[in-house]
Amino acid sequence: MRMFFSFLAGGLFGAGLFISGMTDTIKVQGWLDVFGDWDPTLAFVMGGAIIPMFIAWRFTKGRAPLLGGAFPSPARPELDHRLITGSVMFGMGWGLVGLCPGPVIASITYNGWEGVLFMLSMIAGMVVAPKIGEQLDQIAAKA
Amino acid sequence: METDWIWGLAGGGLIGMGGAVYLLGNGRIMGASGILGGLVDGSGRKDAAEKLVFLAGVILLPLVLSSLFMVKTNTHMTGNVPLIIAAGLLVGLGTRIANGCTSGHGVCGISRLSLRGIVATVFYILAGGMTLVLFRHVLGVI
């Protein structure tokens, strides 16, 4: 049953990314490019996704997941250097090509060698991230 | 196109329902970078099968939909190799260091009114917008 729910969640996520146009880099870069031909679609996608999720979070109060276990612990309130540095790095890569992790995966079958190269580079970044994160911690501790 | 926002809203709704199924069913936060990253760096091998099945769904549905309707398959992806590698590395590094991307911090974080999710989203959108404007309108390379 956990497998079925995982597949269903992934399928809805992939289908949503596909029909919303978020695997099209022009639409994503169009949203980031405030000095170009601005495209508001991404804001509608975010809004459309946040509404069901907002309701879902309300449902978690005082309950347990359908398939057992526990819901994620409450969101941590503290902001740290990793959150800021990492988000800035992610944003830079996102702006350069117009792909974030979800759409990279969703479009892998029709995004050509370019999509495969992006995915491999992204995975390489993910593999070295724990080490780079530790180095950032050391720099932050000295600062 | 004039109808793009409707497709955006509908697609966004599906993304949010996917997140709701993952949260209410499996008790997990649907974050693309966390799910893939946990598999490739070994930190999330505990429930690797579930994550692989999730990723299979993410890949399979667009493939089925694009084969059925033959629409919207043009990603307009750049062919600039150094740019692809640099951007891919930045996205992989950044999302793992910040512990989330557009789905985890953006959709799942903002919807639970998490300060970390909201701050992360503000920073990656600002960084993305400034990087794009710099490279497109100032340097003229993308």
| pLDDT tens across the length of chain A (143 residues) | 999 999 999 999 999 999 999 999 999 999 999 999 999 999 999 999 999 999 999 999 999 999 999 999 999 989 999 999 999 999 999 999 999 999 999 999 999 999 999 999 999 999 999 999 999 999 999 98
A136 contact residues in B (CB cutoff 8 A): 97
What is the domain count for chain A?
A: 1
Burial of residue B92 (number of CB atoms within 10 Å: 0-12, 13-18, 19+): buried
> Which pLDDT does position A143 carry in this prediction?
80
Q: Is B39 near chain A, with CB under 8 Å?
A: no
Contact indicator for A86, B96 with CB cutoff of 8 Å: yes
- Domain containing A105: what range? 2-142
Contact indicator for B54, A10 with CB cutoff of 8 Å: yes
B131 contact residues in A (CB cutoff 8 A): 91-92, 95-96
A64 contact residues in B (CB cutoff 8 A): 27
pTM, to two decimals: 0.96
Q: What is the 3-state secondary structure (H, E, C) of chain B?
A: CCCHHHHHHHHHHHHHHHHHHHHHHHCCCCCHHHHHHHHHCCCCHHHHHHHHHHHHHHHHHHHHHHHHHCCCCCCCCCCCHHHHHHHHHHHHHHHHHCCCCHHHHHHHHHHCCCHHHHHHHHHHHHHHHHHHHHHHHHCCCC
Average pLDDT over residues B110-124: 98
Which tokens is B116 given?
């970390």
Give the integer Cα–Cα distance in Å for B105 and A103.
15
* Per-residue DSSP letter, A48: H
Distance from CA of A141 to the nearest CA of B (A): 16
Q: Is A140 near chain B, with CB under 8 Å?
A: no
Contact indicator for B22, A33 with CB cutoff of 8 Å: no
Give the pLDDT confidence of B57-110 residue by residue, as tens digits.
999 999 999 888 866 588 999 999 999 999 999 999 999 999 999 999 999 999
Subunit contact A91:B125, Cβ cutoff 8 A:
yes
Where is average pLDDT lowest: A97-106, B62-71, B121-130, B131-140? Answer: B62-71
Q: Where are the domains of chain B?
A: 78-142
ipTM for this prediction: 0.97
N-term to C-term CA, chain B:
23
